[in-house]
Structure 1
Amino acid sequence: MRALLIIFVAFTSFGLQAKWQTIKTENFNVHYPQSLQQWAYSAANELEVVRDKVLAQQGRALSERADVIIYDPENAANGFALPSTDKPMMALQATPPQADSVIANNTSWQQLLILHEYIHLVHLSQPSRNQWRQHLRDWHDITDLLDAVLPRWVSEGYATLLESRLTGRGRLYDNYSESIVRYYAQQGALPTYSALDDGDKSYLSNSMAYLVGVRFLAWLEDNYGAQTLDAVWTRVQAVESRSFETAFSGAFGAPASQLYRRFIVEYSYQAMQQEKALIPTQSELWQQFAYAARDIAFSPDGSQFLVVEQNRKRQVTLNIYESKENVEAIEQFNKRNEAILNADPKDIVDIAPEVFPKKRLAQLNAHNFAGIYYPQWLNDSHIYFVAKTPTADDSFINDLFVWKVGTGKPKQLTEGAGIRRFSIIDANTVIAEVSRLGYSQLVIMELDSGKQTPITTSKLGDVHDFPVLSNKKTTLAYVHVTPNKRWQLVVKDLSHDATEIVYLPKSHQYLSGLTWSHDDDKLYFISGVAGHLAVMRYDVESKVLETLPASAKPLEQIITHSQQLLVSYATPEGVKVNKIVSPAWRTVSVLEQVDEAEQKELHPHQLPAAKIDQTALPSSDYSVFEQSYSIALSGALNSASFDSLGVSLKGQDVLRQLAWQLGAEKSINNGALMGAFAQLEYRHENWKTTFDAGYQELEADKQSHSLQVNTSNESSFKQFALSSSYRFGEALNYLAPELGVIRVQHSEKTWNGGRYSFNGRAMWDTQQHGVALQVSAAQWLGELDGFDYQVNLFAKAWQIPFYASVDSRYSSELPLSVGGGALTSTSISNSLHAVSEPMLPHLFATGSRYLGYEFATSWQQGKPKLFYKQHQLDGEVIGQNYGIKMHMPLSRVILDKAADFAPAGLTDLQFSAGVGRIEGRNMTNENRVWFSVWYEL
């Protein structure tokens, strides 16, 4: 088998050099593209350090080598882990977090990320001590994953707990995180136990699995001992089968939900006591948003302000509002109350809200999942902002766009820039933080030429953020951090090329939200101490540092205009903006200049200082032959034909460049079907080569509706196909031509031929509205003379989706058959002769020319569809069906990005189900149902 795979890959790789490399340390396989080599060198060293410390702290380690994927797919800070007892995997994204993130309080991004994801693996990938259960996990990846999964708040909370305990930093000790949780406690808005995993739709509730989960677990350790909590993980994988809840109750003597209620009471009481100790800054509500709102900025003339908003469905818009009071809304409110009292003088009308929402003037929807980030006014009519653009290697990178307010699609100004926050010098020049491949640097960027002039050096581990240019363009302020240090405030005089570090008091941690006063005299920012955030300002001329009293609110942004000082903050209902009234500034004395970050505790097994060690390590070209294997089970229930079961052996490498499966399937309620299949797929960059083989023995008269089948009762089918394609474009819009050869044997006859084809997609999406067109077409040559094409159209209006498709096929020699649900042995690629329809039995009808079309809709994308479908064969309608159905790539829906690197048994899983009514000639009109789960490479 290995020799066959080597020959196949050599034949299909066209001599291209591998872009991915592998470093093999003692316990890890570190896979990375060559562009991230320096990041990978450092990560490989840090991985072994983290493993040793976690082993000393927990007495646990992974029983197998872990695959570590290093990549940068989104130009954003993230990572994930996929637990498995035989193929544990974690993915590390190189782009570092920004200063206002809850993960900005770290020794280094690399160390925090590695520690957090490795804890996931050690915590969740422990083998079961039940021998038979573990044997099943070894051979069946789905069982392995299901046995590893714990409630989200447990897995994320515990990784966050140890990220903090073992570094003295992290989210448990982060002032911004603490400010959020404490304020929500003061509002009685901490999640219930049942909502702790996924939130309750209130603002930021989806983050509470991390932020509240870690504090609950820390409370458990502090009150019951770390060994008691650790005992839960031991009990979960015992010989005796236990759920998390059972394991927890046995270790603590009470259910987790009961102790969580006690934790909430204690934490909320402490939060209320701390609120009483604060001296609130006088302020008044200026604007309330429906949900998330960020990057608020006034226009140059002050008559408007922009804001990026996101609703509960994660739809992002850039909105422009009037700055003045909404007189129209006030008048409408008063008229409504007046009408109510006229109709019923004894009624008591609503009191006026604290503030009326400002009038919206214009709106821009995010296009094609690109988002909208860090918008700024160029002038009163044009806005620059950052959005993500897709690349040819299926990643996204941040680029700069300009939007003329009130018009349609924005114009892209850069290509592949990796830009994040920026300040505008003029229409052609910006000062920006550029973040690419893990490196962060401030540059002066010329938009017409793309030329970049460095302001700061680019060094792995260093991060720059919040570059804000004074209104006079003479002074630049920004924040900067290096490994093991704390964020520092830097002011640079551009006229004299002089740089000053503005030191904060030793106890401060968290630094963000930089903005200049209207007259450039003062620099405002947000800092934190003891779990509270405060507005601070620095006078550049007098060198005086001042602060407002600490706030109970989780401050997110400072907005200045003219003489106004506004702050935005998070609430369970959404973001609010307050106007500061008569601020009580006090001078802050900095007694010593401190660079070191404060560490909250010294754990016995604390990690050593983060080290960016770029010493070259031995590496080799990535090998596709280090494969994971799994038994893969499939099955179908189908009232029109038969129920079936399938079993296969499935394998692939961690990057899924080479994937294959060998298997068989058989009907279980009759002897109608016996099938077998083999599939092999190799991918290299945009090349894809596939080999498919299928065998099927079908006795049509044994199906549930065999009397309606108008073809011969028995069918023997074999198919072999080899094809190769190359994709031009990116993941959203592409064109992929393909060449292939095929051999089909049907009963006693054999056809040999080839095909040339293409498939492509074009799409446009603005969240509320969108259109996507996907087309595939093939011309068949030789003895397989014929053609086929499929057109799929998707559109949505006000988020209501609509679907239409056309499937046309013609074969001059090989008979086309209509009917039958999706089976791996019949759904292999390049199939011209078989038209799948689960509401009809296999071999329901045959002919030479097929035309089918379908219309469908739903209440939301990704939900079951209401559909109507018609089948025509040789110019005659042979059937029509309608009902409710659903099809989804199950692996992708459940695992999201992890599906790209998951073990073999967790990828390529498809799901289809439906119920409906079939009508047509040679059949009894009746209701039919189907359900199927299968693997399809």
Structure 2
Amino acid sequence: MSNAAATTQGLRRPEVTGFGQAPGRQEAALQARRLALDAWRSPRRTRIALVVVGMLCIRNEVPAQYLTRPQIPWRTITTARFDIHFPAELEEWTRGVAGRMDRYAQAVSEAAGNEPSARVTVIVEDPSNVANGFALPFMEGPVIFLWPTPPSPSPTFGAHRGWGEALAVHEYAHIAHLTFPTRNPRERFLWNLLPVRISPVARKAPAWVIEGYATLIEGRMTANGRPFSVGRAAVLRQWALEGKFPTYAQLNGTGAFLGGNMRYLVGSAFLEWLQDRRGDSSLVYLWRRMSARQQRSFDASFAGVFGAGPGDLYGAFTVEVMERALQVRSRLRDAGLVEGELVQRRSGGTGEPALSPDGTQVAVVLRSPGGPSRLVVW
């Protein structure tokens, strides 16, 4: 592996994460980071208090479930930009990702218009056998968690050449996007007094922007993933036809069916639509205005780049989605395709139906968020 060296003495303690400490202190450090993340969106007068409380938590023993297993053998791979820590049992998967991480980072940083000034710590772990990952974009030491378990086949997520590629690109996109340094002298001075520094982009951007942009980059860098999935197009089209397309105020919500996915699916589609109108560099201009010497809110920064507020342009985007959905439905009907007969409308997800050999009955697993699943036959 070029530019990569592995150590076999176990996990080297990274300065920014608290991993490798006693179990209670390890989880306390994570809780401190979570408190700091909460401080991003808190009123200014409470941010300092939250960060101070977070630092105090590091000194307390906190019983909780762990995101890592410190009792097992760990290894470290060091590349030009990353310190990658992983259990020995995940070495094969990690080496495959580590060998390409620097290339991913260079391409994503060029697209986002920013590269973090500090080295990035990557923790590879599989604590729950769940496909996931997340990023902590601290200016002085960003952290990425990668969980290697791949997702189940899903039209919403789409195809990918490898789960490691899609996951690493998406999470590093968060780091590149959310570590734009502030150019405001007063803000820079005040944040330098604190133990944790957060970019103004991370503090101001709504959730749909944070996840939507990482999803957009995921598609652009890999030519796969959610932006290229049939699932994203189908969800947007069907939600529009049923009059359930999320409003701008609902983009960050999680309540309705697939509500938590809207920041990824609709958010990335809206950002692509904006780029088509104003060019690929328009989003980079937006991040720069959000971190400029002159302090601006997200809405003011957005209007300065795109000529109107996000809510207004989202309305125009919604109209175009509806127009395209109606055009597709018209073409399908003209082609004589039959949608089938509606058996029952459900408020949530169901299992894939199984048809009886004679074609007269259908068995379906009905899942409920608050109760056990049921097998029904129609």
- Give the SS at the match of 1:80: strand
Task: Give the deviation of 1:271 after TM superposition.
Answer: 1.4
8 Å CA contact 2:181–2:200 kept in 1: the answer is no
Give 1:158's aligned residue: 213
Give CA-to-partner distance per residue, 1:853-908, whole Å, 9 cap, x none. Answer: xxxxxxxxxxxxxxxxxxxxxxxxxxxxxxxxxxxxxxxxxxxxxxxxxxxxxxxx
Out of 125, 136, 152, which is 1:98 matched to? Answer: 152
Give 1:281's aligned residue: 338
Task: Give the deviation of 1:290 after TM superposition.
Answer: 3.3
- Give the SS at the match of 1:294: coil
Task: Give the deviation of 1:135 after TM superposition.
Answer: 3.9
Residues 1:304 and 1:272: Cα distance change in structure 2 (over 3 Å): closer
Alignment of 1:420-431 (within 5 A): none
Give 1:307's aligned residue: 365
Whichever structure has more strand as a proportion of its residues is: 1
Whichever structure has more helix as a proportion of its residues is: 2
Residue 317, structure 1, aligned to residue 372, structure 2: yes
Give 1:107's aligned residue: 161
Alignment of 1:47-196 (within 5 A): 47-140=101-194, 144=198, 148-149=202-203, 150-196=205-251
CA distance, structure 2, for counterparts of residue 315 and residue 292 of structure 1: 13
**What amino acid does structure 1 have at the position aligned with 2:365?**
V
Residues 1:161 and 1:306: Cα distance change in structure 2 (over 3 Å): closer
Give 2:283's aligned residue: 229
Task: Give the deviation of 1:155 after TM superposition.
Answer: 0.8
Q: TM-score, normalised by structure 2?
A: 0.74
CA distance, structure 2, for counterparts of residue 162 and residue 292 of structure 1: 28
Give CA-to-partner distance per residue, 1:711-735, whole Å, 9 cap, x none. Answer: xxxxxxxxxxxxxxxxxxxxxxxxx
8 Å CA contact 2:112–2:177 kept in 1: the answer is no
Alignment of 1:726-875 (within 5 A): none
Residue 266, structure 1, aligned to residue 320, structure 2: yes
- Give the SS at the match of 1:157: helix
Give 2:270's aligned residue: 216
Task: Give the deviation of 1:18 after TM superposition.
Answer: 6.2
- In the comparison of the two structures, how many residue pairs are matched? 306
8 Å CA contact 1:296–1:308 kept in 2: the answer is no
Tell me the C-alpha RMSD between the 2 structures.
Answer: 2.7
Larger RCO (alpha carbons 8 Å, 6+ apart): 2
8 Å CA contact 1:84–1:148 kept in 2: the answer is no
Give CA-to-partner distance per residue, 1:311-348, whole Å, 9 cap, x none. Answer: xxx33521143x36xxxxxxxxxxxxxxxxxxxxxxxx
Residues 1:93 and 1:101: Cα distance change in structure 2 (over 3 Å): farther
CA distance, structure 1, for counterparts of residue 364 and residue 73 of structure 2: 43
Q: Which runs of 5+ in 2 are unaligned?
A: 1-20, 23-69
CA distance, structure 2, for counterparts of residue 300 and residue 135 of structure 1: 72
CA distance, structure 1, for counterparts of residue 339 and residue 307 of structure 2: 47
Alignment of 1:898-937 (within 5 A): none
8 Å CA contact 2:118–2:139 kept in 1: the answer is yes
8 Å CA contact 1:308–1:316 kept in 2: the answer is no
Give CA-to-partner distance per residue, 1:104-143, whole Å, 9 cap, x none. Answer: 4222211111111101110011211123423433443566
Task: Give the deviation of 1:252 after TM superposition.
Answer: 1.5
Alignment of 1:522-541 (within 5 A): none
CA distance, structure 1, for counterparts of residue 253 and residue 98 of structure 2: 33
Give CA-to-partner distance per residue, 1:532-572, whole Å, 9 cap, x none. Answer: xxxxxxxxxxxxxxxxxxxxxxxxxxxxxxxxxxxxxxxxx
- Give the SS at the match of 2:268: helix
Give CA-to-partner distance per residue, 1:601-652, whole Å, 9 cap, x none. Answer: xxxxxxxxxxxxxxxxxxxxxxxxxxxxxxxxxxxxxxxxxxxxxxxxxxxx
- Give the SS at the match of 2:164: helix
Residues 1:116 and 1:141: Cα distance change in structure 2 (over 3 Å): farther
Moved more, 145-154 or 267-276: 145-154
Alignment of 1:598-609 (within 5 A): none
8 Å CA contact 1:296–1:306 kept in 2: the answer is yes
Residues 1:289 and 1:31: Cα distance change in structure 2 (over 3 Å): same
Tell me the percent identity.
35
**What amino acid does structure 1 have at the position aligned with 2:346?**
F
Task: Give the deviation of 1:47 after TM superposition.
Answer: 1.0
Give 2:302's aligned residue: 248
Give 2:347's aligned residue: 290
CA distance, structure 1, for counterparts of residue 183 and residue 131 of structure 2: 36
Residues 1:65 and 1:135: Cα distance change in structure 2 (over 3 Å): farther
**What amino acid does structure 1 have at the position aligned with 2:235?**
I
8 Å CA contact 2:182–2:199 kept in 1: the answer is no
CA distance, structure 2, for counterparts of residue 22 and residue 170 of structure 1: 28
Give CA-to-partner distance per residue, 1:358-389, whole Å, 9 cap, x none. Answer: xxxxxxxxxxxxxxxxxxxxxxxxxxxxxxxx
8 Å CA contact 2:133–2:145 kept in 1: the answer is yes
- Give the SS at the match of 1:42: helix
Residues 1:142 and 1:187: Cα distance change in structure 2 (over 3 Å): farther
Task: Give the deviation of 1:156 after TM superposition.
Answer: 0.8
**What amino acid does structure 2 have at the position aligned with 1:309?**
R
Q: Larger Rg: 1 or 2?
A: 1
Q: TM-score, normalised by structure 1?
A: 0.31
Residues 1:243 and 1:143: Cα distance change in structure 2 (over 3 Å): farther
Task: Give the deviation of 1:53 after TM superposition.
Answer: 1.4
**What amino acid does structure 2 have at the position aligned with 1:140?**
L
Give 1:635's aligned residue: none
Residues 1:254 and 1:281: Cα distance change in structure 2 (over 3 Å): same
Give 1:206's aligned residue: 260
Give CA-to-partner distance per residue, 1:649-694, whole Å, 9 cap, x none. Answer: xxxxxxxxxxxxxxxxxxxxxxxxxxxxxxxxxxxxxxxxxxxxxx
